[in-house]
Amino acid sequence: MAMMPHVLIVAGSDSSGGAGLARDIETVSAVGLRACLAVTAITVQTHEAVERIEPVAPELIAAQMRAALAANPVAAIKIGMLGTAAGVDAVAAVLGESRSVPVVLDPVLASSSGRALLAGDAVESLRQKLLSLCAMVTPNLPELALLTGAPAATDRTDLIRQGHLLLEAGAKALLVKGGHATGAGSTDLLLRPNAEPVCFDAPRIAVEMRGTGCMLASAIAAYLARGETLETSVSRAKRYVFTKLLASRT
């Protein structure tokens, strides 16, 4: 019997369940696929604070990825928190072993509470070794700024300019998330080389919810695994997160 396509989730755990692996698995499952895992870090968190971070040994991250890929028909890979430069290197090494499945990278740099989830010296590794292996990278505005070494973009022209710097660094597509901007809508911008930007609009919902970045990237990976195009995957993933935000208001 053919096995259901899997999404390999490479991410950190969050004991509160608000973000990280718990959110990723829940999302992949909601899209109707199965998840397999490579845990990159164990974090002790409440919804208010990150109390402790234990990075998993890089060779253990790589071994989990190889075992997950050997065990299952993996149709997409979602990468979240990576923690350290050595962790980034280990993940890039496994991805470089000629896999042809789409990789979605959520460049998790910090928690909402402000604690760094990626070491400062890992940003360069991520840019140099990982970006070119990814079909899609989903930075928010602060992450885009940090990855390009520039101040946060203040207007769309600036944002597109910064986005193209990352595309030149090798990312095949970027979804720049507008959740950190202000205004009545929450607009995400899909940027690809040699293509016009595509806008994805949703009404801004006045609710605080953790893990929305994890959910969006996991849902994009899951829809890509189901064979949808990049644009359809983004659109359906955004709708999924919007529905979750609406439900959390009640």
What's the rounded Cα separation, in Å, for the pair 122 and 30? 32
Q: Which of residues 93-152 bind ligand PLP (CB under 6 A)?
A: 106, 108, 111-112, 117
Tokens of 127: 């840019």
Q: Are 88 and 128 in contact (CB under 8 A)?
A: no
- For ligand PLP, the binding residue among 43, 64, 162, 186 (CB under 6 A) is 43
* Stretch near ligand PLP under the rule CB under 6 A, chosen from 63-71, 94-102, 185-193, 208-216: 208-216
For ligand PLP, give the closer residue by CB, 33 or 41. Answer: 41
Strand order of the β-sheet with 34-45 is: 50-55, 34-45, 6-14, 74-79, 103-105, 136-137, 174-176, 185-191, 198-203
Which residue intervals of the chain are DSSP H helices? Answer: 21-30, 58-71, 85-95, 122-125, 141-148, 156-168, 212-225, 230-248
Q: Are 6 and 34 in contact (CB under 8 A)?
A: yes
78 binding ligand PLP? (CB under 6 A): no
* Stretch near ligand PLP under the rule CB under 6 A, chosen from 13-21, 25-33, 64-72, 169-177: 13-21
214 binding ligand PLP? (CB under 6 A): yes
Number of residues that bind ligand PLP (CB under 6 A): 18
What's the rounded Cα separation, in Å, for the pair 142 and 205? 20
221 binding ligand PLP? (CB under 6 A): no
What's the rounded Cα separation, in Å, for the pair 139 and 230? 16
5 binding ligand PLP? (CB under 6 A): no
58 binding ligand PLP? (CB under 6 A): no
- For ligand PLP, the binding residue among 78, 210, 238, 244 (CB under 6 A) is 210
Which residue lies nearest ligand PLP, judged by its C-beta?
Answer: 20
* Stretch near ligand PLP under the rule CB under 6 A, chosen from 7-15, 64-72, 177-185, 186-194: 7-15
What's the rounded Cα separation, in Å, for the pair 232 and 33? 17
- For ligand PLP, the binding residue among 213, 233, 238, 245 (CB under 6 A) is 213
- For ligand PLP, the binding residue among 6, 7, 14, 244 (CB under 6 A) is 14
Question: In angstroms, what CA-CA distances link 105 with 6, 43, 155, 165, 248?
Answer: 17, 19, 24, 16, 25
List contacts with ligand PLP (CB under 6 A).
Answer: 11-12, 14, 18-20, 43, 80-81, 106, 108, 111-112, 117, 210-211, 213-214
